[in-house]
Amino acid sequence: MKAIIVIFGNSGAGKDTLADFLKARLPDSDRMSFAWNLKQAAFHLLGIPDNVSFGTQEQKLSFLAYGKNARQWLQWLGTEVGRNMIHLDIWVDRLADIINYENYEIEREHKSWGGPLYDYIIVSDGRFKNEACLGDHLKSPTLVLNILILRPGLQADLSHPSESEVYAMAQEPVKWFDYVVVNDGDLTKLEKSAEELALAIEEKANEQKPLP
C-alpha cells in the first residue's frame, strides 16, 4: 500500500465529493470509513438502512426512529456510546482491523505478489484528533496523509463534539493536516483541486522508500 488519505471537515464541507474525485484519479484506490462498523451497528440496533446512514444529510435528517433522526442516532452511537463509554479509539481500531486484515489476506493468498489489494485507501469521515493518528494503529508502517476541506461561509453546528473538534483542528491546520483544500466554487473547481491534490499525493507516496 502506498498511502492512506484521511479527509477531515465539518458536515457539508464536501468530504465525500472530494473523496469521489480522488478515487477517480488515484490508481488502484478504494474508499473506507471510520463509521462503517458504527453504521452496521445502527442498522442492527435501530433499523437505519445503509442508503440512509451512507446517504445525504437530508436523508439522515428525514429518517426518524424512536424519537430521533438518523443523524442524531449516529452521533450518539459514535460518540456518547462508542468513544465515551467504550474507548476513545474504538472506531479507529475497527478501521485499522479492516485494513490490517485485508493486507494480511492478500499477502496470504498471493504470496508470489505479496502486496496489498489497493495502492490507496481514501477515508472521507475524519472528525477527531485521534483519527489523524490512524497510522499508529496499523501493523505495517504506512504513509497516512490528512486532508482538510474547508467551505467558506458554511455554518457548522458546533453543538456536538463530532463537529466542534474538527472545527478546532482547522484553526491549527499546520499542526494537523498535510494538505488543505478550499471548496469555494462549483463542482468543476473542486474537481480541479482534486486533480492537483491527487498528483501531489502520488508524488509524496512515490518519495517513500520501500520497506526492507
CA distance 152 to 85: 34
Residue type at position 173? P
Specify the pLDDT at position 208. Answer: 78
Burial class (CB in 10 A: 0-12, 13-18, 19+), 185: exposed
Burial class (CB in 10 A: 0-12, 13-18, 19+), 193: buried
pTM: 0.88
pLDDT greater than 70 at residue 162: yes
Is the four-CA dihedral 195, 175, 152, 83 of positive or negative sign? positive
Higher pLDDT, 19 or 56: 19
Higher pLDDT, 201 or 156: 201
Mean pLDDT of the chain: 90
Q: What would the grid cell of residue 33 be?
A: 470509513
Specify the pLDDT at position 47. Answer: 96
Could you read off the pLDDT of 64-96 as tens digits, one per residue? Answer: 999 999 999 999 999 999 999 999 999 999 999
Q: Dihedrals φ, ψ of 38, to 5°? A: -60, -45
DSSP strand pairing (29-32 vs 144-150): unpaired
* Stretch 94-103: mean pLDDT: 82
> Taking Cα atoms as reference points, which of 144, 132, 199 lies closest to residue 170?
132
Specify the pLDDT at position 103. Answer: 56
Residue type at position 195? E
pLDDT greater than 60 at residue 110: no
Q: In 10 A of CB 117, how many CB atoms?
A: 15
Burial class (CB in 10 A: 0-12, 13-18, 19+), 71: buried
Specify the pLDDT at position 209. Answer: 65
Mean pLDDT is lowest, of 15-19, 56-60, 89-93, 142-146, for 56-60
Per-residue pLDDT band for 111 (boundaries 50, 70, 90) equals very low
Specify the pLDDT at position 134. Answer: 96
